[in-house]
Amino acid sequence: MIIIGGGLAGLISAILLRREGFEVVLFEQKKYPFHRVCGEYISNEVVPFLNHHKLFPLALNPTNISQFQLTSVTGKSLEMPLDLGGFGISRKSFDSWLASKAGDEGVVVINDRIVECLFDKDQFNLKSKRGDSFVSDLVIGAFGKRSTLDKSLQRSFIDRRSPYVGVKYHIKTDAIENNKIALHNFKKGYCGLSAVENETYNLCYLTNRSNLKSSGSIPEMEHEVLKKNPFLNHVFTNSDFLFEKPEVINEISFEKKEPVFNHILMTGDSAGMIAPLCGNGMAMAIHSAKMLSELIIENQKAGFDRKKLELEYASLWNQNFAKRLSTGRFIQKLFGSPLVSEITVQTGKSFKPFANYLMKKTHGQPFS
C-alpha cells in the first residue's frame, strides 16, 4: 500500500494500517521536522482516539486551550468558553513525532514527491519526481490542500482560482493567555492566535490576495491592513517573531472535493478542507484517517472488494464531514468585513446560545 503525503492524515493512516500487518510505503517530499501553514489547534474530540492508540503527544507538552476570543476589524471583542476545548501543538513537532512512531512500526518513509498516479487493470502505477516507478493495489491520497498531483489527476477544483493566501509565524508574546484561542478580523481576512508547546504561540492568518497586491509585500500588508485591528497592532508591535520569514501558501481552496477520485482514497485536506477559522482541520484529518483505515482493515478481512470499499468510505466521509464543511463555508462569510464582523461580534455577545450553536456545528463528537 502506498500513502501519498506525510501530514496527520497520512501518518496516522500509515501507523494504524501497519499495526494490522499491511506493508506501507509513505511518500513525503520534505524531510521531518518542518513547518506547515496551519492553525495548530486540535479539538478535544480526537483525544479518546489518540489515547486509545497511544498517539497522544503528551511528551511534547501540548497546551490546553479552553477559551475563545473573537474581535471585529475595529477591535470589538467577544469572549466565551470553548464547548469541547482543545490543545495547541506545532505541526513541526507533532508530524515529526508521528513520523518517528511510524518508523518504529515499520512504515517505509520515502522523501520524494509522487507526480503521477494512474489506475489501470486494477492497480496503480505511480511515478515520483526523481523518476522512480512504483506499483500498488491501494493508494491513499493525503497530500494536502493543493498539489501538483491534483493537477496531474485533473481534479475539477484545481482549475478554479482561489483568492486566499495563508501566512504563518511562531512568536513569543504576552498579548494572549495561553489557555485561549483568538480570531482577529481584518479587512478581507482573519488571523488566528493560540499557544503551542514551549511557551510559543502560533500566529496564522488568511487573507485575500487583493490585500497583498495592493500593499506590495507581506510586511506592508501587515502594517497597512492587519494593524488596523487594535489587537493585531499590539501583537505585531510587541511580540518577538521567531521565523526569519513567514511560511506562506497560495491558492488555498475551500471548494468541494471528492473523498474518492480515480480510485484513490482521499483523506484529510485532500478530501475536503474546512475554513481555518473553525479550527478543526487537524481534528478532521485525524478522524478521516481513522475511518478510512478501519474500513480498509475490515474490507481486507472480508475479502478485498474495491467497489464496496470506495462506496462505504465516500458515504461515511460525507455523513461525518459534509455538513461541517458547508457550515464552515457559511461562517467564513461572517469574517473579513468591517460591517459584518461588527454585527457578528455584537450578535454573539447578545445571543450567546446562537454563538454556541455555530461553534458546535463546526465540531464533531469525541470518538475512539
Contacts of 15 (CB under 8 A, 6+ apart): 53, 55, 98, 101, 102, 105, 107
Question: Taking all residues of the chain, what is their mean pLDDT, rounded to a whole number?
Answer: 91
DSSP for residue 368: -
Report the candidate in 189, 238, 193 with the shortest Cα–Cα distance to residue 212: 189
Confidence of residue 216 (pLDDT cuts 50, 70, 90): very high
Indicate the pTM of the whole model: 0.93
Which has the higher per-residue pLDDT, 250 or 170? 170
Q: Which residue has the cell 496527520?
A: 8
Confidence of residue 322 (pLDDT cuts 50, 70, 90): confident
Q: Is residue 180 part of a domain?
A: yes
What pLDDT is attached to residue 362?
A: 64
Q: Is residue 8 part of a domain?
A: yes
Residues forming a β-bridge with 172? 240
Over residues 226-255, mean pLDDT = 93
pLDDT digits (tens, 9 = 90+) for 13-64: 999 999 999 999 999 999 999 999 999 999 999 999 999 999 999 999 999 9
Q: Do residues 159 and 146 lie in contact, with contact meaning Cβ atoms separated by under 8 Å?
A: no
> Range of 346's domain?
2-361
Q: Do residues 288 and 317 lie in contact, with contact meaning Cβ atoms separated by under 8 Å?
A: yes
Query: Which of 98-107, 145-154, 264-273 comes out lowest in average pLDDT?
Result: 145-154
CATH at 319 = 3.50.50.60
Residues forming a β-bridge with 164? 208, 252
Contacts of 357 (CB under 8 A, 6+ apart): none
Q: Is residue 366 part of a domain?
A: no
Report the number of distinct structural domains present in the chain: 1
Confidence of residue 321 (pLDDT cuts 50, 70, 90): confident
Q: Residues for the chain: how many in total? A: 368
Q: Is residue 368 part of a domain?
A: no
Does residue 113 register a pLDDT over 70?
yes
Mutual angle of helices 8-19 and 91-105, in 10-degree steps: 20
